[in-house]
Amino acid sequence: MTFTPTHVLISRTKETPVQLVAGPKGYWLYTEAESQKGTTPAFEVRPKLGIYCRGQQVVGFHLQPLAAAKAAQPEAITVAQ
Q: Specify the number of domains making up the chain.
A: 1
Give domain status of residue 2, yes or no: no
**Residue 72 resides in a domain:** no
User: Is 78 within the bounds of a domain?
Assistant: no
Closest Cα partner for 40 from 29, 50, 51, 48?
29
pLDDT level of residue 78 (50, 70, 90 thresholds): low
Measured in degrees and rounded to the nearest 5, phi and psi for residue 37 equal -80, -20
Tens-digit pLDDT profile for residues 7-63 = 999 999 999 999 999 998 899 999 999 999 989 999 999 989 999 999 999 999 999
8 Å CB contact between 43 and 53: yes
In a domain, 80, yes or no: no
* pLDDT band (50, 70, 90) for residue 1: confident
H runs (alpha helix) in 19-59? 32-37
Q: Is residue 74 part of a domain?
A: no
Residue 81 maps to a domain: no
Q: Does residue 75 form part of some domain?
A: no
